[in-house]
Amino acid sequence: MGAMQGGHQLLLLEGGETLFPALVEAMDAARRVVHLETYIFEFAGSALSVAQALERAARRGVLVRLVLDGVGTPQVPPEWRRRFDAAGVRWRVYAPLGRLGLLIPSSWRRLHRKLCVVDGTVGFCGGINIIDDQDDVALGRLTAPRLDYSLRVAGPLVADMVETMEQLWWRLQAVRKARQREFMAAWDALRETLPVGDFSRLLQKFEAHSGSASGHGEPLGAGEGAFHFGVDDARACLLLRDNVSHRHDIERAYLKAIGEARQEVVIVNAYFIPGRKLRRALTMAAARGVRVRLLLQGRYEHFLQYHAARPVYQHLLNAGIEIHEYAPSALHAKVAVVDRRWATVGSTNLDPLSLLLAREANVMTTDRRFASQLHEHLEALVQRSGQTLSAHALGQRPWRQRVLDRLAFGVMRALLFITGHRY
């Protein structure tokens, strides 16, 4: 995984309004396998269309696998438990919380990636949870849809998506069997997570391959009336972050792209508290004349998320970096463009939870056509929807606010120290 290859179709989708119809279209056309991972699955509003599509696919004999995070989706409603079980949907909860909940540091390692693969030929990767665009877990009902993105992909990296999702699925199966004291079954499931030399055999074994996963696949649609843009024959790769063999892959990709920037860096990110390496890369880029612009979350959601970011903002603003806060609604996007030649779309926030603890997935591309289109879109977004933050205004806030900032930053660093991380 992570090797850049050509031959990809990339289609950018904005919001659940465009992603959900595209998911439903792909699931309704599925013949063998639908595999979906998500942090949040809300069984209400427009997200119901995805749940119903999973149910329909399972009823007609498609192997349907669904993995939900135990914090993002702590409960599946009883009605949908019955419906999924009756239809044959195979669903699992990743790391459900025990009685002590998040008091145990190891429980902070969450499944935060949002991946879906249908028949081994079409994949989806981005930041959009399966939740209505105007529903928000922290903010309640929004007056306008949240800002978020996903990519619909065909091409070689879909095989990498299948591989990482298969490995997680069989690890969850092993844990489940071990808890039931079925130790031989647990060992058999665990063996399925071992590296596979011939990936085509893995696809065949689980009947997840209906056409070449390394070819172009089927033409990519986006649902009726969808906002989208995309390209064919693009060079791209899948980047992962986990706690085993891909601990820093996504962060290193950002560092390399920013370190090579010559004209402009544009980052749109929901939860932005970069560590020392990323802060240094951004400030050094600004020092050598690169225009660095950040479009970040403008809403107060959580104490640490809001206040711990302010000292970092002050440092970056003092270095000449532009910061804009998204005004119309909640921002949940995680995308970036460098010099109109490098772009990424995925689930990764530039904060400690994403970069040090969570399972994440991003698609990275060096296709100049896609990067230019995304740059133009983000340029218009910053101009139209961003409220500029100034170093002077941030520094002149009431002293109580600034004390809270320092307190939150200190608490964040202490919590990371408990987990054995320096950031």
Gap between the Cα atoms of 80 and 38, Å rounded = 16
Catalytic residue among 112, 177, 375, 377: 112
Residue 421 is among the residues annotated as catalytic for this protein? no
DSSP result, 104-162: SGGGG--B--EEEEETTTEEEEES--BS-TTEETTTEE-SSPPB-EEEEEESTHHHHHH
Catalytic residue among 35, 114, 177, 307: 114
**What torsion do the CA atoms of 179, 185, 188, 190 make, to the nearest 10 degrees?**
-10
Burial class for 398, CB neighbours closer than 10 Å (0-12, 13-18, 19+): exposed
Helix (H, G, I), strand (E, B) or coil at 301: coil
Catalytic residue among 69, 119, 136, 160: 119
Residue 160 is among the residues annotated as catalytic for this protein? no
Helix (H, G, I), strand (E, B) or coil at 239: strand
Contact indicator for 311, 282 with CB cutoff of 8 Å: no
Residue 256 is among the residues annotated as catalytic for this protein? no
Catalytic residue among 35, 209, 334, 377: 334
Burial class for 417, CB neighbours closer than 10 Å (0-12, 13-18, 19+): exposed
Residue 334 is among the residues annotated as catalytic for this protein? yes
DSSP state of 297: E
Compute the C-alpha angle 372/378/384, nearest 5°. Answer: 140
Residue 339 is among the residues annotated as catalytic for this protein? yes
Catalytic residue among 216, 246, 339, 421: 339
Q: Supply 140's token pair.
A: 């309640």
Residue 205 is among the residues annotated as catalytic for this protein? no
Catalytic residue among 35, 332, 375, 377: 332
Q: Which residues are catalytic?
A: 112, 114, 119, 332, 334, 339
